[in-house]
Amino acid sequence: MKRIKTKHAIKVVIITFLLSLFFFTSCDTQTIYDETLTIPDESWASTMPAFFDVEVDDTLTYNTLFLKISNTVNYKYQNIYFFVTLMFPNGQIARDTINIDLANSYGEWYGKGMGRTKTMQIPYRKNFLFPYTGTYKFYIEQAMRDDTLKGIKAIGLKIANE
């Protein structure tokens, strides 16, 4: 009788594990692109944009475009401005200016993370439809008044289906 209970318990554990594995792996299937670039010496110069090349073959699905940023607690501003330039496969160019608040007026960081690094992922374009198949080029530049921003560790781009 003990043997039957043990076999049943093992089956329950295996089924629970497999269902959990399926659930957690299926949550991220909507992500079609996710890349993060490390900023050397945590100092982002305005002359050094982050480049991302994204291959697109689906022109029927709506997407959300996210900016990802990691900053240290030594970053001296409450926000950051970006210029995001998107070059379409046909040569057309679109440019956005984006302001992201990184901390509140009391200096409390919005990003997640323990220690001195805080990370955020912010949607900046929703319901975006890629009109052409091919390679889309994203250029992300810091647009602050300082030529070099100290305390920026990484910049990233994520694209997810809606």
- What pLDDT digit, counting tens, does each position of 72-122 carry? 999 999 999 999 999 999 999 999 999 999 999 999 999 999 899 999 999
Confidence of residue 29 (pLDDT cuts 50, 70, 90): low
The span from the CA of 100 to the CA of 139, in Å, is 17
- Find the CATH number of the domain harbouring 124: 2.60.120
- Return the DSSP state at 109: B
The pLDDT, as a whole number, for residue 153 is 97
In a domain, 68, yes or no: yes
126 pLDDT above the threshold of 90: yes
Averaged pLDDT, 3-22: 60
Confidence of residue 1 (pLDDT cuts 50, 70, 90): low
In one-letter notation, the amino acid at residue 121 is Q
| DSSP 3-state of 98 | strand
In a domain, 13, yes or no: no
CA of residue 20 relative to chain centroid, distance: 24
In a domain, 143, yes or no: yes
The pLDDT, as a whole number, for residue 129 is 97
A 10 A CB-CB count for 70 gives: 21
28 pLDDT above the threshold of 70: no
Sorted by sequence, the CB contacts under 8 Å of residue 112 that are 6+ apart come out as 118, 119, 120
In a domain, 56, yes or no: yes
Residue with tokens 């992300």: 140
In a domain, 14, yes or no: no
Q: What is the mean pLDDT of the chain?
A: 90
The span from the CA of 140 to the CA of 159, in Å, is 14
In a domain, 53, yes or no: yes
In a domain, 3, yes or no: no
Q: Which domain holds residue 54?
A: 31-161
The pLDDT, as a whole number, for residue 53 is 98
Averaged pLDDT, 16-33: 62
Q: What total of structural domains would you count in the chain? A: 1
Position with higher pLDDT, 10 vs 64: 64
In a domain, 16, yes or no: no
Do 131 and 60 touch, CB atoms closer than 8 A?
A: no
Position with higher pLDDT, 99 vs 29: 99
The pLDDT, as a whole number, for residue 117 is 97
17 pLDDT above the threshold of 60: no
